[in-house]
Structure 1
Amino acid sequence: MSKPRRPKRAVDGILLLDKPPGITSNAALMEVRRLFQADKAGHTGSLDPMATGMLPICLGNATKLSGQLLASDKAYRATICLGARTDSGDADGTVIESASVPAHDAAQVIAMLDASCGPQTQIPPMVSALKHEGKRLYALAREGVEIARAPRDIVIHQLKLVDWQPMQWVIDVQCSKGTYIRVLAEDLAQKLGTLAHLTALRRQWVTPFRGTQYALSQLQAIASDGGHVALDACLLPLSSALVQWPKVVVTGPQAAQLRAGQPIAVQDSATSDACMAQREVAVLDGEGVAISLAVWRDDGLLWPKRWLLRDEKP
């Protein structure tokens, strides 16, 4: 006889999970959702099974912000092993090609890293969660199928050499969304005239988050000792995801208008001028709670885009 399903509950917020190695991002997400008994949950950008580090988990109405967080800049620490390429680009794969490593020193690597920053294109790897005709690329790769992948625009904001050894580099990377660090490692090695794969990868932060990360083992202990009250204390409010957005504070009647799908006029000219330059804004109530995303239109009014509270959408 199957066990009865645990009841779901309304819980809204963002958890900064420290994903452990050896599991998929979706498996980590499902364990967090189970612990919180959340009615809705989603993450904001996959980490490879081998990778560790920050995986923001959106619960409840915070899932409405997942799209914004997917577009955020990210930072990683990567350990690159030189002289061998694997079929996955990391240590979880099988070595498929080896090459000698040219003599070089740390100064050469630093110069190469500096020259590798800026806007560029990158071809996604076959072993990735991208889809082709509804099927994940990694599933096609397992079947021995390889398809052409269109290059994507990315930006490498910063590359820093943390540790240098003749056969291994440790680098810090700050980059835009959609950047594959496995591919970056292979591209850097190619510039040196050799091959490479990742042996470790840790995501250090995701814009705008720099806060405390919780391991699954910590969350399991917190749930055991303190239940949902203690777990919920680990969550960040929705407004934490919007700290870099221009903001408009509205009155109760204005909030009611937005909730009803109606535009509002903002009388503070300094606020409206600053916000109109970026078009999309976060709308807060008088207590600083994020209640809506909104957009300025050419008519000079602020129009609701997405209602963020638990009550019904307009």
Structure 2
Amino acid sequence: MFFTQVRNIHGIILLDKPTGISSNKALQITKKIFEIKKAGHTGSLDPLATGILPICLGEATKFAEYLIKSDKKYRVIAKLGEETSTADSYGKIINSYKIQFNSKEYKLALDNFRGVISQTPPIYSAIKYKGIPLYKYARKGISVPIGSRFINVYKIKSLYIKENIIELDILCSSGTYIRSIINDLGKLLKCGAHVIFLRRIKISSFSSSLSITLDQLNFLKKKYFKNNFKIFLNKIKNFFIPILSLFPHFPKVYVSKQNLLFLKNGRSIKLINKLNPCLVCIINKNKKFIGIGKLNKKNYLFPHKLINFYK
């Protein structure tokens, strides 16, 4: 986390999104709390869902895509015997069924959702068709084609099953819709199913146990923000992650003040140490993260995405 003025904060705060609001609403509330104009979240959570929603502030927004593409882990509770229009409890019940599967059939059904699978996103989603989110078509009863996509479910573990309630842990790739997994599982079991609880408990290597709620942020703002901004930032520093932590596997390249000036002006620099062509983290003489660079076959480093508040 870095700051130069009250409205000029740069970092990624780990927000614990509450249920009942969209990710965009949570983002707008966070922007208001920090009184900042430039911010973005890293991957939507359903209004029903809670859990970790990293919010990029200031220059950190340039690197949001690296978290969006990260793997996620979810805890989900689903109700069997009912299929809803949205595949969660916010929708209308469209079909009801008897639950007749046994434990062996349940385990075999779960096996269908392990590994690389093709998934069709729910119609009530933020995916766009001709520039318009699918949920807007759904609300108007308009049918549009929804393309399937390949996702990877690294782990799906049954934690609880009793009568018409199941609980699962799911570790999956970016772009996975948990509502679709539950809906498709209900179809395989021939009993229907929908999500009644969903929590994102991990994104990349960051856990929801490290996140802060909107209520906590509002409380700390009212107590410290206007009177002592530095104390406010100190109180929430443990809920921020450094931008550099998004790139644990990127090589680090340390550059001089002069070479940094070249990069900031869009020029390339020749590295002495030979590296394979790749993306690298650029670090200045003060060991501060400056941004991402591209290294070519001739060992020339080009600027890719740089932050602009360090000299």
TM-score clears 0.5: yes
Q: CA deviation at 1:108?
A: 4.7
C-alpha distance in structure 1 between counterparts of 2:133 and 2:51, whole Å: 23
1:216-235 pair list within 5 angstroms:
216-227=214-225, 228-233=229-234, 234=236, 235=240
The alpha-carbon deviation at position 142 of structure 1 amounts to: 0.5
2:31 is the alignment partner of 1:26: no
After superposition, the C-alpha distances for 1:272-295 in whole angstroms (9 at most, x for unaligned) are 24xx3xx22221223432201111
1:281 paired with 2:286, answer no
Match of 2:273 in 1: 268
Aligned equivalent of 2:155: 158
Q: Deviations over 1:16-35 (max 9, x none)?
A: 00000011111111111111
For residues 94-109 of structure 1, the aligned pairs below 5 Å read 94-105=92-103, 108-109=105-106
Structure 1 distance, partners of 2:155, 2:45, is 20
Correspondence list, 1:1-314, <5 A: 9-105=7-103, 108-210=105-207, 212-227=210-225, 228-233=229-234, 234=236, 235-269=240-274, 272-273=275-276, 276=277, 279-310=278-309
Q: CA deviation at 1:79?
A: 0.5
Distance 2:285 2:109 in 1: 50
When you count strand as a share of all residues, which structure comes out higher? Answer: 2
Q: Which shifted more, 281-290 or 218-227?
A: 281-290
Change (3 A) 1:164 1:230: farther
- C-alpha separation in 2, matches of 1:25 and 1:12: 20
Matched AA of 2:279: E
Q: CA RMSD in A?
A: 1.9
**Structure 2 residue matching 1:11: 3-state secondary structure:** strand
- Provide the rounded CA distance (Å) in 1 between the counterparts of 2:233 and 2:191: 49
Is contact 1:222–1:231 with CA below 8 Å preserved after alignment? yes
The alignment's TM-score, normalised by the length of structure 1, stands at 0.89
Deviation at 1:102, TM superposition (A): 1.7
Structure 1: segments with no counterpart, 5+ residues = 1-6
Q: Runs in 1 of length 4+ with deviation above 3 angstroms?
A: 107-112
Aligned to 1:3: none
The alpha-carbon distance between structure 1 residues 298 and 55, as it changes in their structure 2 partners (threshold 3 A), is same
Counterpart amino acid of residue 298 in structure 2: D
Q: Distance in 1 between matches of 2:58 and 2:22?
A: 21
Render the CA deviation track for 1:120-169: whole Å, top value 9, x for unaligned. 21111110011122221111111011211111121111111111213111
How many residues get paired? 299
The alpha carbon displacement at 1:232 in A equals 2.8
Q: What SS is found at the alignment partner of 2:43?
A: coil
Structure 2 runs not aligned, ≥5 long: none
Identity of aligned residues (%): 34
CA distance in 1, matches of 2:122, 2:130: 16
TM-score by length of 2: 0.90
